[in-house]
Amino acid sequence: MQPRLKEVSVIGRGGFHKLAYTEWGSPAAEQTVVCVHGVSRNGRDFDALAAALAEKRVRVIAPDLPGRGRSDWLASPTHYTDRAYIRAMSTLIARLDVEKVDWVGTSLGGHIGMLVAAQPGMPIRRLVLNDFGARVSAVALNRIGSYLMRTWRFSSIDDVEAHLREVHAPFGNLDDAQWRHLAQHSAVPDRAGGFRFHFDPGIGMRFSMPFFLDVTLWQVWDKIDCPVLILRGEDSDLLARGTVQAMLRRGPAAMDGRVTAFEFPGCGHAPALMDQSQIAVITNYLLTEQPTLN
């Protein structure tokens, strides 16, 4: 099974820009799931999850956020803002012509999902937060920022893969084919005959100043009333176990018993969601009325 490669035009501060996305399953499916990736990643990270859901007659949409993958780079690094991401996702959802979507967001994708879900009249039926929550570690944000602010060049896809195996070891125990898949979709040829990462270096500008305090998003969480599944990597340095426990007790969704959590062993920030056991947790949650997470 292969995805259909599509795109939609989004208006922003610098004019219209192309937002690329992959589509799996039938456009006529009764259920649509939108999967949104992390800060330096792209929508092809979700190929395994999307294929599994499509086999169960679910339509899956996996966008490349602005500046990543096949999507256009924005006119200025200062344009990579939460507002720009929300605008892009709302345009994409409008293109899909559905009343509701389920949202699976990894890291930054979870952040955007929370921001959308906190809006009045929002279109999210269920929200899955993959290693993201209402309090984000400053230490982890500084680690991510120092990585994004560097210029990376590679001589071959083999070198890209070796690099990803090292820096993304917290993704979990992926097999050789999965690491190769990530490498092939993480880099593109550059003018010097080597390879560069498939994202605009300008996205790192947001991290140019160090974070001295954890980022708290309780004011967002306290507005979310849709069902939420919080996923956490056992060794995550971004989402603390204590934050998850607090999210299970606080906010309208939690007060109504509609927030659940699951911790994946053997990984940190963030679980890759390519392992069959991880995929099973998500599909069970999204496809059953009263899911069990045993």
Q: Is the pLDDT of residue 77 over 70?
A: yes
Residue of 79, 85, 24 lying closest to 51 (CA atoms) = 24
Give pLDDT tens digits for 19-55. 999 999 999 999 999 999 999 999 999 999 999 999 9
288 pLDDT exceeds 90?
A: no
Residue-level pLDDT at 290: 61
47 beta partners: none
Check residue 294 and give its pLDDT. Answer: 46
Instruction: Report the residue count for the chain.
Output: 294
Mean pLDDT score, 255-265 = 97
Phi, psi of 125 (to 5 degrees): -85, -50
Average confidence (pLDDT) over 147-164: 95
Can you tell me the distance from the alpha carbon of 138 to that of 155, in angstroms, rounded to the nearest whole number? 33
- What pLDDT is recorded for position 291? 56
Which residues, 6 or more positions from 294, have their beta carbon under 8 angstroms from its beta carbon?
Answer: none
Residue pair 170/267 in contact by the 8 Å Cβ criterion: yes
What is the pTM (predicted TM-score) of this model? 0.96
Identify the structural domains of the chain with CATH numbers, from first to last: 4-137+218-287 (3.40.50.1820)
Percent of the chain at pLDDT exceeding 90: 93
Interatomic CA distance for residues 8 and 222, integer angstroms: 32
pLDDT at 64: 98
Percent of the chain beyond pLDDT 70?
Answer: 98
Return d(Cα 102, Cα 226) in angstroms, integer: 10
- Tens digit of each residue's pLDDT (9 = 90 or more) over 111-132: 999 999 999 999 999 999 999 9
Burial environment of residue 199 by CB neighbours within 10 A (0 to 12, 13 to 18, 19 or more):
buried
